[in-house]
Structure 1
Amino acid sequence: MAAAAPHAGGLADTVFDFAQEDPGRIALGRKGADGRWHDVTAAAFRDEVLALAKGLIAHGVRFGDRVALMSRTRYEWTLFDLALWAVGAQSVPVYPTSSAEQVLWMLYDAEVVAVMVEHEDQAMTVGSVIDRLPDLKRLWQLDAGAMGELVEAGARIDDEVVHRHRRAVTPDSVATVIYTSGTTGRPKGCVITHANFMFEADTMVARWHPVFRSRPGDETATLLFLPLSHVFGRMVEIAALRGRVKLGHQPELSAKALMPDLVSFRPTFVLAVPHIFEKVFDAARRKAEAEGRVGPFDRAVDVAVTYAEALEARAFGTGPGPSAGLRMRHQFFDQVVYRKIREAMGGRVRHAMSGGSGMARRLGLFFAGAGVTVYEGYGLTETTAAATANPPGRVRYGTVGRPIPGSTVRIARDGEVWVRGAHVFSRYLGDPEATDAVLRDGWLATGDLGALDEDGYLTLTGRKKEILVTSGGKSVSPGGLEERVRAHPLVAQCVAVGNDRPYIAALVTIDREAVEHWLAMRGRAPMRPAELVRDPDLEREVRRAVVAANTAVSQAESIRTFRILAHPFSEEHGLLTPSLKPKRKAIEAAYATEVEALYR
Structure 2
Amino acid sequence: MRPADHLATAASAGATHRLGRRRGPRVGANTLWRSGMSSIPSLLRDRIAATPDAEAYRVPAGDGWTSLSWREVDERVRGLALGLAELGAGPGTRVSILCSTRLEWILCDLAVLATGAATTTIYPSNTAAESAFVITDSGSTIVIAENDDQVAKLASVRKELPDVTHVIVIDGSPGEDGWVITLDSVSRDAAASGRDYDAMVDAIAQDDLATLIYTSGTTGRPKGVELTHDNWLYTGQAVRELDLISPDDLHFLWLPLSHSFGKLLEVVMIDLGVPTVIDGRLDKIAENLGVVRPTLMAAAPRIFEKIHNTVVANMHREGGLKLRIFAWARATGLRVSRARQRGAELPITMRAEYALADRLVFAKLRERFGGRIRLFISGAAPLSQDIAEFFDAAGLTIYEGYGLTESSAGSFLNRPESVKFGTVGPPFPGTEVRIADDGEILIGGRGIMRGYHGLPEETAAALQDGWLHTGDIGEVDEAGRLRITDRKKELIKTSGGKYVAPTYLEGRIKAACPYASHVFVHGDRRNYVTALITLDMDVAGPWARAESLPDDPEKLREHPRMREEVRKAIDQVNAGEASYATVKKFAILAADFAVETGELTPSLKIKRKVVEERNAEVLDSFYT
Query: How high is the TM-score relative to the length of structure 1?
Result: 0.94
Is the 8 Å Cα contact of residues 535 and 553 (structure 2) preserved in structure 1? no
Write the letter of the residue equivalent to 1:333. Answer: A
Partner of 1:22: 51
Q: Which stretch of structure 1 is more off in the superposition, 343-352 or 375-384?
A: 343-352
Partner AA of 2:216 in structure 1: S
Please say if 1:294 is aligned against 2:323: yes
Matches within 5 A, 1:555-574: 555-574=579-598
After TM superposition, the structure 1 = structure 2 runs for residues 35-50 of structure 1, keeping only pairs within 5 Å, are 35-50=63-78
1:350 paired residue number? 374
Task: Give a deviation string over 1:370-411, Cα, whole Å, max 9, x none.
Answer: 222211111100110121111221101121111111111111
Whether the 8 Å contact between 2:375 and 2:398 is mirrored in structure 1 is yes
Match of 2:384 among 352, 360, 370: 360
1:244 match: 273
**How big is each residue's C-alpha offset from its partner over 1:432-477, in whole Å with a ceiling of 9 and x where there is no partner?**
1001111011111100011112222111111111122333443333
Aligned to 2:25: none
- Contact between 2:38 and 2:230, CA under 8 Å: does it hold in 1? no
In 2, Cα distance between equivalents of 1:87 and 1:22: 23
Aligned letter for 2:355? Answer: Q
Q: State the distance in 1 between where 2:395 and 2:542 align.
A: 27
Bigger RCO (CA 8 Å, 6+ sep): 2
1:104-123 superposed matches below 5 A = 104-123=132-151
Instruction: Return the offset for 1:525.
Output: 4.2
Q: Which position in structure 2 is the counterpart of 1:275?
A: 302
Residues 599, 610 of structure 2: 8 Å contact kept: yes
Opposite residue 480 of structure 1, the aligned amino acid is Y
**Code of the aligned partner of 2:311:** A
Question: Deviation of residue 120 (structure 1)?
Answer: 2.0
Per-residue deviation, 1:505: 1.5
For the residue of structure 1 that corresponds to 2:349, the secondary structure is helix
Give the conservation status (yes or no) of the 8 Å contact 1:59–1:153: no
Paired letter, 1:546: I
Contact 2:336 2:350 in 1 (8 A): yes
1:388 aligns with 2:412: yes
Match of 1:530 in 2: 554
Provide the rounded CA distance (Å) in 1 between the counterparts of 2:313 and 2:523.
Answer: 34
The answer to whether the aligner puts 1:510 opposite 2:538 as a matched pair is no
1:148 maps to what in 2? 184
Q: Which residue number corresponds to residue 228 of structure 2?
A: 193
Name the aligned partner's letter for residue 567 of structure 2.
R
Instruction: Tell me the equivalent position of 2:481.
Output: 457
Which residues in structure 2 correspond to 1:384-533 (within 5 Å)?
Answer: 384-487=408-511, 488-522=513-547, 524-533=548-557
- Alpha carbons of structure 1 residues 247 and 97: separation in structure 2 relative to 1, 3 Å: same
> In the alignment, is the contact (CA less than 8 A) between 2:253 and 2:298 conserved in 1?
yes
C-alpha contact (below 8 Å) 1:285/1:294 kept by paired residues? no
* Residue 170, structure 1, aligned to residue 205, structure 2: yes
Q: CA deviation at 1:282?
A: 2.5
Whether contact under 8 Å (1:408, 1:419) holds in the other structure is yes
Whether contact under 8 Å (1:6, 1:199) holds in the other structure is no
Let me know the Cα RMSD of the aligned residues. Answer: 1.7
> For the Cα contact (< 8 Å) 2:376–2:399, is it kept in 1?
yes
> Structure 2 vs 1, CA of residues 347 and 96 (structure 1 numbering), >3 Å: closer, same or farther?
same
**How far apart are the structure 2 equivalents of 1:562 and 1:206?**
47
Q: Give the deviation of 1:368 after TM superposition.
A: 2.4
Contact 1:71/1:77 (8 A) holds in 2:
yes
Q: Which amino acid aligns with 2:121?
A: P
Structure 2 residue 608 is the aligned partner of structure 1 residue 575:
no
Map 1:255-274 onto structure 2 (within 5 A).
Answer: 257-274=284-301
CA contact (8 A) 2:530 2:584 kept: yes
C-alpha displacement of 1:290: 4.5
**Counterparts of 2:486 and 2:377, CA distance in 1:** 21
Aligned to 1:102: 130
Work out the CA distance in 2 between the residues paired with 1:559 and 1:289: 25
Q: Deviations over 1:492-528 (max 9, x none)?
A: 1111222333322211111112212322342x14431
> Any conservation in 2 of the 1:509–1:565 contact (CA below 8 Å)?
yes
Verify the 8 A CA contact 1:6 1:198 in the aligned structure 2: no
Q: Tell whether 2:620 aligns with 1:591.
A: no
SS of 1:113's partner is strand
2: CA distance between counterparts of 1:437 and 1:348? 45
Matches within 5 A, 1:130-141: 130-141=158-169
Q: 1:84 Cα shift?
A: 0.9
312, 319, 322: which one pairs with 1:285?
Answer: 312
Shift of 1:534: 1.1
Other structure's SS at 1:154 match: helix
Post-superposition CA distance 1:58-88 (Å, at most 9, x none): 2222222100111111010011111111111
Indicate if the aligned counterparts of 1:304 and 1:367 stay in contact, CA closer than 8 A.
no
CA contact (8 A) 1:491 1:511 kept: yes
Tell me, in whole angstroms, the C-alpha distance in 2 between the residues paired with 1:471 and 1:335: 51
Cα distance in 1 for partners of 2:587, 2:133 equals 35
Does residue 204 of the first structure (1) align with residue 232 of the second (2)? Answer: no
Percent of residue pairs bearing the same amino acid type: 34
Partner residue, 2:9: none
In structure 1, give the amino acid aligned to 2:184.
G
What SS is found at the alignment partner of 1:297?
A: helix
Deviation at 1:424, TM superposition (A): 0.9
Indicate if the aligned counterparts of 2:309 and 2:515 stay in contact, CA closer than 8 A.
Answer: no
Provide Cα deviations, 1:334-381, integer angstroms capped at 9, x if missing partner.
233222222211221121111112222232223223222211111100
Mapped to 2, the partners of 1:279 and 1:248 lie a distance apart of 21
What corresponds to 2:84 in structure 1?
56
- How many residue pairs match? The answer is 584
Deviation, structure 1 residue 559: 1.7
**Residues 63 and 165 in structure 1, CA contact (< 8 A), matched pair in contact too:** no
Q: Secondary structure at the match of 1:493?
A: strand
Secondary structure class of the residue paired with 2:192: coil
Q: Secondary structure at the match of 1:12?
A: helix
Aligned partner of residue 495 in structure 1, secondary structure: strand
Equivalent position SS for 1:506 = strand
Distance 1:472 1:220 in 2: 52
Single out whichever of 82-91 and 328-337 deviates more from structure 2.
328-337
CA contact 2:54–2:69 (8 Å) conserved in 1: yes
Alignment correspondent of 1:68? 96
What is aligned with 1:371? 395
SS of the aligned residue for 2:232 comes to helix
User: d(CA) in 2 for partners of 1:237 and 1:75?
Assistant: 11
1:89-136 CA-partner distances (Å, limit 9, x unpaired): 100010111112211211111001011111222212222222122221
Contact 2:253 2:278 in 1 (8 A): yes
Mark the runs of 5 or more structure 1 residues left unpaired by the alignment. none
